[in-house]
């Protein structure tokens, strides 16, 4: 977890332990949590999603078929 995210997590009401678990794929998170993480990093939600999209493998899908 980055220091910036850990610091801003408290400000955006996200527990640092949960941030760590999300980052390490130990737990999932709700849409609102992703939005709060983006805001904590100083990004808009679309900017954050674009970064995720660019870093994910090309065949990644949010829904199992």
The mean predicted confidence, pLDDT, of the chain is 75
Does the predicted model carry a pTM greater than 0.95?
A: no
Per residue in 22-32, pLDDT tens?
Answer: 777 788 888 88
How many residues appear in the chain? Answer: 65
Q: For residue 55, what is the DSSP state?
A: H
Q: How far apart are CA 49 and CA 22, in angstroms?
A: 15
**Helix (H) or strand (E) run with residue 28 in it:** none
Q: What is the mean pLDDT of residues 20-44?
A: 82
Domain ranges of the chain: 3-55
Longest dimension (CA), the chain: 38
């Amino acid at each position: 977890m980055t220091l910036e995210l850990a610091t801003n997590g408290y400000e955006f009401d996200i527990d640092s332990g949960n941030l760590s678990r999300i980052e390490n794929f130990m737990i999932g998170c709700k849409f609102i949590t992703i939005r709060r993480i983006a805001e904590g990093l100083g990004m808009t939600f679309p900017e954050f999603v674009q970064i995720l999209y660019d870093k994910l493998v090309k065949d990644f899908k949010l829904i199992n078929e």
